[in-house]
A and B are shown apart, each in its own frame.
Chain A
């Protein structure tokens, strides 16, 4: 086929070409003499519109556009973990070797390392019949993750040839199968998959397991289910990235895919520095061993930002298909939406709200709907959980991205400027946030943690809601005029806020807290409250009931009681009794 597509229009990352009648929508193309990577996003007769993933400065009129014949797709295979990629799966380390400290254009499409040898242990043998999604061989990709080389979706057949266990490279054929129509299928260490297409599954399942994060405000107050979706909106400086980092570090998912989408370069550097040093509380190995990083910093080309989200979710789905629980952190989905807006503007499309294109909601839905707890093609239970940060303009949650995201996520963790100003971290506002997973997860919590955890939670939330109402009065007339039982509520609310909800990400004991300790902490706070109520009922004044030393002791349990020394809670319980028993006896 003769190819004479030529550039006829250039406007930033958007390029139009003539002679593109044979090109397909969403096909990957090379633009100009530098072979810039692009994707066809519109066709109008002979004229095609291309979004270019690299800087277009220097591109000339009538330069050639070449077709690659395939959609923008990823190579999925061993070598993804512990690596950092740009928005179109190019390893940044490799880019640095090729172009130095600054990213140049025209490097071309490079991807996971093709020269590295992996030790492959074959699972199938000659004569086996292998269905789509079933494992052919396994590779120890990192010290904690076994990479399963799977039969690509849509293919099945009988093994006619397979290699011995041994070291192979990405492009080596490790297995040849024959279909019923006598077609040959060669399986290499990798498979390709178009980023914009969800990978197939057998069926979706109801969500029943929580994604434990070691963060108290999440695990107990606003839990996220494995396979669920959550949004973390917040103005700048409220700690979105901090929260996302904490989740990436401590979530009990098998695999973490972290997408730095249009955010700061130094934040990605921070991740690169810090993650290798941190140990996963479950496996005891460095958390980098289970992490894939994708970075399109705010100054990198905007079209690749649009693609980065899809790259991330496709990688996540690939590991899910191996039977893993994957959590994906997208920081920030607003930058992705803005990339859509920018491209839409360059395409001169009719804008909807605030200049965002009319298809924003459907794109957001398409992204979040790729989450789920599923039965994979080979019948395993696995999940993709999506946690997206949202950066609302002016911190105003009524803007289009936040509003539309809210429609498609089930957990909404609203970050609050006022809390952040007071350095109350994580600055998740307990009044504005919600989690739709409470009901689905309550069985799990009562089976695996404690029967009364959800009751305790409800009790604590009630105290916080009461406090919110009381605060309005206090701000008008001062605390002294309130009756003692209401003042007790204020005091207990303070203990919950400082002692439980605030969590210090930089404190080695407090940065990750097991769910059992979280439960006991609530028990203690509740016990303090119960005994206080009892005392107040007998007419004991609040100034006596609220013993500074005792309250301060309870407030500091997060630091003073070690995560692996939970019997100390018993002593504290005794200390509370030791204070209230004689007091109550005296007044009786």
Chain B
């Protein structure tokens, strides 16, 4: 039995500093017994000879330098995971918060996971039909992809995520095992409640695992919440053959927690005070999505982040975009015009769709149609800018058609109901209907053969 330490040398924000610890190991978990015998968890984040610095997950309020007993477990942060986690709710450090009791399992899993060997990865190519036209046609979600939703405060990202959870369908989806892992990081109670209700409405509740760290929960737990969730996801996907959809909101709270701890550690900040390792740190989350050779299951990752001040060049969306395989960007102007879902098409992108659509996957005309929609809609923006100056009536005939296209695109293609589910076929058909507004010669992104067949 290892000894307990009764003195804390220093307490700084979420961190504690201990002195003269025997053989501490980097990253190990410590247990802090409080006066009321409640146990808090901490993790060693730096060792400096005589000093050990640890972060306390549940926060340091109530701690004094001499009212605790601290035990070093010698183990990294590990989580019990079994199939029983389905339908359950946990807090940010993986403790059950419903009344279902503890989870028992043969193995305990290190929540940090390990990097997937690139040669073990299978390249994702099966598309997931979300039933949302913009996403399916223009930024197709692929099984095993990490595709974040870049949103802003007050935009309906939660509704869109819930709609995707409700409607997501895999190609040849029959008798596949499907489950959702939901991680809430520092979100409002109402938002968490909204997700709960929508999972219930969708009838998937018994296939949902929830890890909840709400806005008033301890900051340090925000660091462990996504890791616990992804550990559960990895177990279900790669050991139990489930297709997992991980919905995680809000990455911005996660990054802010990271910044808070970093500044408590007096680290050299880089952009906007975020630590220099923000990119690597986010990558250790996002890169856990994927499909592996010889394994049935998959992790598809749908993180949601709210861009501070709607600024896409803010470090959080910026670094995220560099790691994830595309992004779905929501636009405030569309939202103001009462459009749902307000998907801002031009900056959105799915990097994996090129290999998951087209002949043999969706439809042979899908790649060209998608390209043409992007190109034409980008032209709409230029023509609109012009129309604002010279007035719409003075536009050339072609430009007026482009304007018509723009309006129809937003009204018929982008807009759809919160519970309206369109198949990819239907979405592409609507796209053709819109493209026919323009003469054939303007559709320069579409192959002649396809143009003749579908126009």
A interface, CB within 8 angstroms of B: 8-12, 55-62, 84, 92-93, 95-96, 99-104, 235-237, 260, 262, 264-266, 268-270, 272-273, 295, 297-300, 302, 335, 338-339, 341-342, 344-345, 348, 351, 354-356, 391, 393-396, 417, 421-424, 474-480, 498, 506, 548, 552, 555-556, 559
Contacts and interface: CB of A to CB of B under 8 A. Distances in A.
Contacts of A59: 25-26
B389 A341 contact: no
Contacts of A102: 113-117, 120
Contacts of A355: 268-271, 276
B139 to A, nearest CB: 11
Interface in B306-326: 313-315, 318-319, 321-323, 325-326
A421 B277 contact: no
A351 B275 CA distance: 13
Contacts of B144: 266
Contacts of A417: 347
Interface in B158-215: none
B322 A391 contact: yes
Nearest to B76: A57
Contacts of A96: 117, 119-120
B441 interface: yes
Contacts of B394: 478
B375 A266 contact: no
A475 B385 contact: yes
B265 to A, nearest CB: 9
16 contacts: A8-B48, A11-B46, A11-B47, A84-B118, A102-B117, A237-B327, A266-B290, A297-B115, A298-B280, A299-B284, A299-B287, A338-B279, A345-B275, A396-B313, A476-B389, A478-B395
A412 to B, nearest CB: 20
A58 B47 CA distance: 12
B450 to A, nearest CB: 12
Nearest to A339: B280
Nearest to B445: A423
Given A60-B26, A299-B287, A480 B268 contact: no
A341 B267 CA distance: 12
A264 B323 contact: yes
A295 B118 contact: yes
B318 A236 contact: yes
Given A62-B23, A298-B323, A393-B315, A266 B123 contact: yes
Contact of B287 (A62, A236, A264): A264
Contacts of A506: 354, 367
What 9 A-B pairs come out closest when comparing CB atoms? A394-B313, A298-B283, A355-B270, A57-B27, A236-B321, A422-B378, A299-B287, A102-B114, A101-B120
B124 interface: yes
B152 interface: no
B118 A297 contact: yes
Contact of A480 (B114, B325, B389, B396): B396
A22 to B, nearest CB: 20
Nearest to B323: A298
A99 B275 CA distance: 31
Nearest to A417: B347
Nearest to B320: A236
Contacts of B423: none
A20 B221 CA distance: 38
A335 B441 contact: no
A268 B287 CA distance: 13
Contact of B396 (A11, A265, A478): A478
Contact of A237 (B118, B326, B447): B326
B123 A270 contact: yes
Contacts of B347: 237, 417, 421
A37 B190 CA distance: 48
Given A265-B116, A345-B275, A478-B394, A298 B287 contact: yes
A506 B356 CA distance: 13
A425 B54 CA distance: 49
B261 interface: no
A450 B258 CA distance: 59
B122 interface: yes
B118 A10 contact: no
A58 to B, nearest CB: 5
Contacts of B118: 84, 92, 260, 265, 268-269, 272, 295, 297
Given A237-B347, A299-B284, A478-B390, A265 B121 contact: yes
A302 B276 CA distance: 12
Q: How large is the interface on B (under 10, 10 to 19, 20 to 34, 35 or more residues)?
A: 35 or more
Nearest to B75: A58
Contact of B279 (A92, A335, A498): A335
Contacts of B448: 556
B313 A421 contact: no
A517 to B, nearest CB: 19
Nearest to A62: B23
B24 A103 contact: no
Interface in B241-281: 267-271, 275-277, 279-280
Given A11-B46, A236-B322, A302-B280, A423 B115 contact: no
Given A302-B277, A479-B396, A61 B23 contact: yes
B371 interface: yes
Contacts of A424: 375
Given A355-B269, A391-B322, A394-B315, 4 more contacts: A61-B47, A93-B119, A103-B115, A298-B323
B374 interface: yes
A317 B424 CA distance: 50
B287 A345 contact: no
B336 to A, nearest CB: 21
A101 B371 CA distance: 36
B114 to A, nearest CB: 4
A57 B47 CA distance: 11
Interface in B26-50: 26-28, 46-49
B112 interface: yes
Contacts of B27: 56-58
Interface string B94-124: 0000000000000000101111111111111
A302 B367 CA distance: 37
Nearest to A420: B349
Contacts of B292: 101
Contacts of A93: 119
A348 B268 contact: yes
Contacts of A478: 386, 390, 394-396
A9 B47 contact: yes
Contacts of A394: 313-315, 318
Contacts of A341: 270, 276
A237 B284 contact: no
A342 B283 CA distance: 14
A92 B48 CA distance: 34
Contacts of A262: 279-280, 283
A480 B444 CA distance: 23
A363 to B, nearest CB: 16
Contacts of B371: 423
A273 B119 CA distance: 10
Contacts of B277: 12, 302, 342, 345
Contacts of B112: 55, 57
Given A60-B26, A62-B23, A422-B374, A342 B276 contact: yes
B238 interface: yes
B375 A345 contact: no
Contact of B28 (A58, A268, A272, A302): A58
B346 interface: yes
A344 B268 CA distance: 9
Among A236, A341, A354, max chain B CB count under 10 A is at A236
Contacts of B447: 559
Contacts of A395: 313, 318
A339 B114 CA distance: 19
Contacts of A9: 46-49
Best-surrounded residue of A8, A12, A102 (most CB of chain B within 10 A): A102
Contacts of B319: 393
